[in-house]
């Protein structure tokens, strides 16, 4: 829905939300439900649920080159092509059209469309705990989180009860249980590995992943069909995305104005009120520049884009970037590492198989540095994510010879059981891991190119070595043969969990946001995407973003209601 009139009156809303991904969709829904006339700005094209999922029902042979990227793909999109394939390419940007600068290798994976990366996310949903929220204070690293688990627990429940999360209750203090739909089922080899771990490692357990895939019908969506084609867009609504859930709920209120093809270039500052007054936008279809105004702003463009927007918004009050009195905006960039692990083959249990394409694997929750005195050579910890399966014809064909009927039978007979498992590890917040804006090079819209300088440090590298060792030990303890450890040495950004750059904290001198995700230096601006994270934990973070967003929307509503904004 477009509004081409440039007058201030017609371009004024109660709230503006920048970005329509996981957290932006939530902000739009919550604010609309509270009665705010809300403008949702998205720099990319519109994507409507079901209508705009063109590959959702295609077979591998329906694509010209199967599910293989071409050499041209790799040349044009050296970063994005590591993540997409022909069935999902349309949900990712073109690296050639949207360049950025890498001081050190960093994969900035992006999806510029309504729904953002909520269309292609991994759907893993884990709560953080006080082990995470207290870690910085306990370790004396950077700044303390301004919240604890009790502050976020009811909002975790609120979010889970809307999006639908399947999972198993495990009663772990460091990985709190949630509001779960029935769990998906582990297959035989995963159960065997879990039994072995339970027997040999008393502080560890193996459970099914907790995912936003619906194991029963839920709020006019689902259930999941176990096709494992989630990232193409699900016509059944079997998993949570902005497109299938929050944006339709916002539209239903009659309070939403959705404006795609709108690049926000600057946050506008009101010197007299000492607050933001609105945003400046480039319409990518007409190249016209618009200004939109609102009482409150929610910035949810995703970590790197959010920081770059703030840094590009300069004024006499904020010469170094909007709200950047602390000089922390752009710094403390984090991403989980997921490069290290182990693989093994089991030559028993060949009478067992499985059914369907379950859209998730297993989880071994964090088991390192849960208590003082472990005397490890690294801080924090990791979880293990993996899956077990029987070898298929692609795996077997390299070792088989022959032709005809017998050869086909060999190929169609499932091979040995295998397990692949890797650690998702915490990255500490380092000031020198940062994004900046290049002073010379600009994109086709005239905006400075983003420059990313990021690397994992000694703590993360030592953690990866421990992941390899303990993963191999668990497989060998369960009778796996030919166990091999690996470290893919993937670049930062590859896990697509970038966070930090506008962190929460108690002190405006050392942080950007307060405990309600409200800017210290501009009280009507809220940031609830990954930028807000003060440390990374090792859990997949999207559930935390959603909970922080719902909490911040309620706070903003109360502040406006009481005349404090």
Let me know: does 133 contact 147? Beta carbons within 8 Å. Answer: yes
Quick: pLDDT tens for 297-318: 999 999 999 999 999 999 999 9
| Residue 402, in any domain of the structure | yes
Distance (Å, rounded) from C-alpha 327 to C-alpha 431?
Answer: 10
Residues 456, 460, 466, 467: is their CA dihedral positive or negative?
negative
Residues 235, 238, 243, 247: is their CA dihedral positive or negative?
positive
| Residue 437, in any domain of the structure | no
Distance (Å, rounded) from C-alpha 560 to C-alpha 523?
Answer: 11
β-bridge pairing 262-270 and 275-283:
antiparallel
Confidence (pLDDT) at 4: 45
Q: Tokens standing for 519?
A: 């800017």
Confidence (pLDDT) at 413: 83
- Tokens 């293990």 appear where? 384
Q: Is pLDDT at 15 greater than 70 in this prediction?
A: yes
Confidence (pLDDT) at 397: 64
What residues make up the domain containing 365? Answer: 177-210+339-425+457-491
| Residue 404, in any domain of the structure | yes
Confidence (pLDDT) at 220: 87
Domains identified in the chain, total number: 1
| Residue 371, in any domain of the structure | yes
Q: Model's pTM, two decimal places? A: 0.96
Q: Tokens standing for 52?
A: 């705009």
Confidence at 522, pLDDT banded by 50, 70, 90: very high
Q: Is pLDDT at 412 greater than 80 in this prediction?
A: no
Confidence (pLDDT) at 3: 43
Confidence (pLDDT) at 2: 41
| Residue 366, in any domain of the structure | yes
Question: Alpha helix locations (H) across 115-187?
Answer: 130-133, 135-139, 149-163
| Residue 110, in any domain of the structure | no
| Residue 204, in any domain of the structure | yes
Within 8 A by CB and 6+ apart from 399, the residues are none
- The arithmetic mean of pLDDT across residues 380-405, rounded, is 84
Q: Is pLDDT at 1 greater than 80 in this prediction?
A: no
| Residue 92, in any domain of the structure | no
Average model confidence (pLDDT) across the chain: 96
By mean pLDDT, which of 323-332, 406-415, 497-506 is the weakest?
406-415
Quick: pLDDT tens for 202-212: 899 999 999 99
Q: Tokens standing for 232?
A: 């193409």
Q: Tokens standing for 537?
A: 């934990």
Q: Is pLDDT at 201 greater than 60 in this prediction?
A: yes
Confidence at 356, pLDDT banded by 50, 70, 90: confident
Quick: pLDDT tens for 36-84: 999 999 999 999 999 999 999 999 999 999 999 999 999 999 999 999 9
Q: Is pLDDT at 402 greater than 80 in this prediction?
A: no
Q: Over the Cα atoms of the chain, what is R_g?
A: 24
Confidence at 6, pLDDT banded by 50, 70, 90: low
pLDDT exceeding 90 applies to what percent of the chain? 92
Confidence at 398, pLDDT banded by 50, 70, 90: low
DSSP of 261-285, one letter per residue? SEEEEEEEEETTTTEEEEEEEEETT
Burial of 181 (0-12, 13-18, 19+ CB in 10 A): buried
Task: Name the phi and psi angles at 422, rounded to 5.
Answer: -140, 155
Quick: pLDDT tens for 371-385: 988 999 999 999 999
Terminal alpha carbon distance of the chain: 28
Distance (Å, rounded) from C-alpha 310 to C-alpha 521?
Answer: 12
The four Cα atoms 344, 350, 356, 360 give a dihedral, to 10 degrees, of -20
CA angle 283, 276, 19 (to 5 degrees): 45
């Amino acid at each position: 829905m477009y509004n081409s009139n440039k007058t201030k009156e017609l371009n004024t809303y109660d709230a503006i939300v920048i970005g329509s991904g996981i957290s932006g969709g939530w902000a739009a829904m919550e604010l609309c439900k509270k009665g705010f006339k809300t403008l949702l700005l998205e720099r990319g094209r519109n994507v409507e649920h079901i209508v705009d999922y063109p590959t959702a029902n295609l077979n591998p042979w329906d694509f010209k080159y199967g599910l293989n990227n071409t050499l041209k793909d790799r040349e044009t999109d050296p970063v994005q092509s590591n993540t997409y394939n022909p069935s999902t390419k349309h949900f990712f940007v073109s690296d050639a059209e949207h360049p950025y600068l890498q001081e050190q290798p960093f994969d900035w994976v992006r999806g510029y469309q309504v729904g953002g990366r909520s269309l292609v996310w991994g759907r893993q949903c884990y709560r953080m705990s006080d082990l995470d929220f207290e870690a910085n204070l306990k370790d004396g690293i950077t700044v303390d989180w301004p919240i604890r688990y009790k502050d976020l627990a009811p909002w975790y429940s609120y979010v889970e009860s809307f999006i639908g999360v399947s999972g198993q209750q495990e009663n772990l203090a460091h990985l709190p249980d949630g509001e779960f739909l029935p769990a998906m089922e582990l297959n035989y080899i995963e159960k065997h590995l879990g039994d072995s771990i339970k027997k040999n490692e008393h502080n560890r357990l193996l459970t099914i992943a907790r995912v936003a895939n619906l194991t029963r019908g839920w709020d006019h969506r689902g259930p999941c069909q176990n096709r494992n084609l989630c990232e193409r867009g699900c016509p059944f609504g079997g998993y949570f995305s902005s497109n299938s859930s929050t944006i339709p709920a916002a539209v239903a209120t009659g309070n939403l104005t959705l404006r795609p093809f709108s690049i926000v270039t600057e946050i506008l500052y009101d010197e007299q009120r000492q607050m933001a007054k609105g945003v400046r936008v480039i319409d990518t279809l007409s190249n016209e520049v618009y200004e939109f105004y609102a009482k409150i702003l929610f910035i949810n463009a995703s970590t790197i884009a959010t920081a770059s927007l703030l840094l590009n918004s300069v004024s006499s009050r904020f010469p170094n970037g909007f709200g950047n009195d602390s000089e922390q905006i752009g710094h403390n960039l984090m991403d989980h590492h997921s490069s290290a692990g182990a693989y093994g083959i089991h030559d028993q249990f060949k009478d067992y198989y499985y059914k369907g394409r379950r859209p998730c694997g297993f989880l071994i929750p964090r088991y390192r540095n849960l208590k003082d005195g472990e005397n490890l050579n690294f801080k924090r910890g990791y979880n293990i994510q993996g899956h077990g399966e029987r070898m298929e014809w692609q795996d077997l064909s390299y070792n088989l010879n022959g032709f005809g009927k017998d050869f086909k039978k060999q190929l169609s007979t499932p091979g040995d059981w295998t397990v692949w498992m890797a650690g998702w590890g915490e990255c500490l917040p380092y000031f020198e891991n940062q994004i900046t804006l290049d002073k010379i090079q600009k994109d086709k819209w005239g905006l400075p190119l983003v420059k990313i300088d990021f690397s994992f440090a000694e703590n993360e590298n030592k953690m990866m070595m421990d992941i390899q060792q303990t993963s191999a030990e668990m497989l060998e303890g369960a009778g796996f043969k030919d166990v091999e450890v690996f470290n893919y040495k993937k670049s930062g950004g590859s896990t697509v969990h970038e966070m930090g750059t506008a962190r929460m904290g108690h002190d405006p001198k050392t942080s950007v946001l307060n405990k309600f995700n409200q800017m210290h230096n501009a009280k009507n601006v809220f940031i609830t995407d990954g930028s807000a994270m003060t440390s990374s934990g090792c859990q997949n973070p999207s559930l935390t973003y959603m909970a922080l967003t719902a909490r911040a929307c309620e706070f903003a509503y109360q502040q406006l209601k009481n005349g404090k904004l």
